[in-house]
Amino acid sequence: MTSNPQPQVSVLLPVYNCPGYVGAAIESILNQSFSDFELIIIDDGSTDSTPEELDRFSDPRIRRYRQDNQGLAATLNRAIFLAKAPLLARQDQDDLSMPERLKKQVLYMHANPECGLLGSWAQIMEINKLSSRFHRHPTSDWELRYGLMFNNPFVHSSVMLRKSVVTELGGYTTDPERQPPEDYELWSRIARVSTVANIPEVLLIYREIPGSMSRTGVSPFQRRLVRISAENIAHSAGVEPNDSSVTAIACLTHGTPEGLKGTPDFRLIHKILFRALEQCASPANRPTLQIDAELRLTSLKASWLAYNVPILASVQRLRPFRKIAKGCLALFRRLPTMMR
C-alpha cells in the first residue's frame, strides 16, 4: 500500500509513555476498511520503551515525529499544522477504532458539509477487559448544543473534525487556565460556528485506566470545567459569563457550590436555563429540553440544600448514598430520550 500525497483524512495520534497499548491503537487505524488516510504520530518526549514500540511499524501512511514534551494540546496543534487532509480524525494512544469507523465518518462529513465536529458512541474497556458499559451520548445538533452547556458529550478519541473550522478557531487552547479539558473547550467553540453530531453507533473502544485526571476530580480540572460550562450557558442565554445565575448553574452542576457567593436565585436560574435552551432547539424540539431543564433545576436545588444543611452534606459524602444519588440523576437525565 502506498501513501497518498493528498489523503482524505489525517489521523492525529499523540503518544507519551504508553508502550503497552499504543501498538494496538495504531493497528486499529491501519486495519480500517477506509484506506485513504495518513497517520500522524507525534511522540511527545516519551521516556520509556514507547519509541521502540513505534519502531515496529513501517506502513507508508505513517508520518512519525518526536519532540521534547509539550503536553497534549500543543502536540495536537502541531499535528493539525502537519496534516495534509481536509478531515482530521483523533485517535488516543490507548483506545481502539472499529474497522468501519473512518469510512462511516467520512461518508457523514461528505453528506453534511455544515458539520464541523462528528463523534460516535463508544464501548468502555476496563484496562484490558471489555465491559457492558457504553458512552451513548446524544446524536443530534440541538441535543448536543444543549448538552455542551453542562458537560462534554463527545468521546475525544472518536471525533472527526473539519480542518478548516479548527484552524479558523486557532486549534486547541494551550492556555493553562483553560486546559485540560482542551477537548471540551474546543468543542464549545466549534458548536458556535458549525453544526455538531454523534453517529449513533459504537465505532470506538474507549479504554478506562485508573488515575485519569478527568475521573479523579482534580480540583484545577474541575474549576476549568465549571468555567467552560458557564461560558456555554452564558453564550446561549445571551448574558455575561460572570452572571451570578450562570455561575450558580455551572458550580452546582459540577459539585462545587463552595465557589458561589451568596444564595442562588432559583427564579432567575429558571429563566436563564429556559432562555438558553430556546437558542439550542427549534420550537418542535424544545419540550424535550424543557423536561430536562426542570429536572436539572430540581437537582441544582437539591445540591444547594445538601451543601447548606450539614447533616445532608455529611450523608451525601457517604459512598452508598453518593452512588444512589448519582444513579438517580443519571436516570433523570435519560428521561427525555426514554420518553421519545
> Do 160 and 24 belong to one domain?
yes
Would 1 be classed as within a structural domain?
no
Q: Are residues 70 and 174 in the same domain?
A: yes
Instruction: Concatenate the DSSP letters of all residues of 86-101 into one string.
Output: SEEEE--TT-EE-TTH
Copy the grid coordinates of residue 242: 460572570
Residue 145: CATH number of its domain: 3.90.550.10
**181 and 228 part of one domain:** no
Q: What CA–CA distance (Å, rounded) separates 44 from 68?
A: 6
Cis peptide before 181 (omega within 30 of 0): yes
pLDDT at 4: 80
Instruction: Copy the grid coordinates of residue 290.
Output: 424543557
Same domain, 83 and 135: yes
Residue 2 counted as domain residue? no
Nearest in space to 186 (alpha carbons), one of 173, 198, 199, 168? 173
Q: What is the pLDDT of residue 202?
A: 98
Please state, in angstroms and rounded to a whole number, the distance separating the CA atoms of residues 237 and 266: 15
Say yes or no: 168 and 270 in one domain: no
Closest by Cα among 154, 188, 150, 136 to 289: 150
Query: What's 144's DSSP letter?
Result: H
d(Cα 57, Cα 24) in Å, to the nearest integer? 11
Q: In this structure, are 75 and 198 located in the same domain?
A: yes
At residue 300, the 3 state secondary structure works out as: helix
Domain co-membership, 291 together with 266: yes
Q: Round to whole Å and give the CA distance between 255 and 245.
A: 15
pLDDT score, position 270? 96
Q: How many domains does the chain contain in total? A: 2
Give yes or no: residues 182 and 244 share one domain: no
- Identify the pLDDT of residue 306: 84
Do the Cβ atoms of 157 and 163 come closer than 8 Å?
no
Q: What angle do CA 55, 60, 65 make, to 5 degrees?
A: 50
Q: What are phi and psi of 280, to 5 degrees?
A: -95, -25
Residue 266, domain member (yes or no):
yes
Q: Are 106 and 96 in contact (CB under 8 A)?
A: no
165 shares its domain with 304: no
26 plus 148 within the same structural domain: yes
Helical residues (DSSP H) of 238-309, grouped into ranges: 244-253, 266-278, 286-308
CA dihedral 211, 212, 215, 217 (to 10 degrees): 80
The residue out of 198, 215, 232 marking a domain boundary is 215
Please give the chain's pLDDT, 340 residues, in tens: 666 889 999 999 999 999 999 999 999 999 999 999 999 999 999 999 999 999 999 999 999 999 999 999 999 999 999 999 999 999 999 999 999 999 999 999 999 999 999 999 999 999 999 999 999 999 999 999 999 999 999 999 999 999 999 999 999 999 999 999 999 999 999 999 999 999 999 999 999 987 543 444 447 999 999 999 999 999 999 999 999 999 999 999 999 998 898 899 999 999 999 999 999 999 999 999 999 999 999 999 998 988 887 655 555 555 555 555 555 555 544 544 443 3
Distance, CA of 2 to CA of 210 (rounded, Å) = 39
Instruction: Yes or no: say if 203 and 104 are a contact pair by the CB < 8 Å rule.
Output: yes
193 vs 170: CA distance, rounded Å: 13
Which of these, 32, 21, 10, 81, lies nearest to 54 by C-alpha position?
Answer: 21
* Placement of cell 462529513 in the chain: 109
**Domain span at 279:** 219-338
What does the block give as the cell for 225? 470545567
Return the pLDDT at 308: 84
Q: Is 309 helix (H, G, I), strand (E, B) or coil?
A: coil
Question: Residue 323's pLDDT is what?
Answer: 55
Q: Decide which of 215, 233, 253 is a domain's last residue.
A: 215
What is the value of pTM for the model shown?
Answer: 0.89
Buried b (16+ CB within 10 A) or exposed e, 203-239: bbbbbeeeeeeeeeeeeeebebbbbbbbbbbbbbbeb
pLDDT score, position 219: 73
**What pLDDT sits at residue 325?**
53
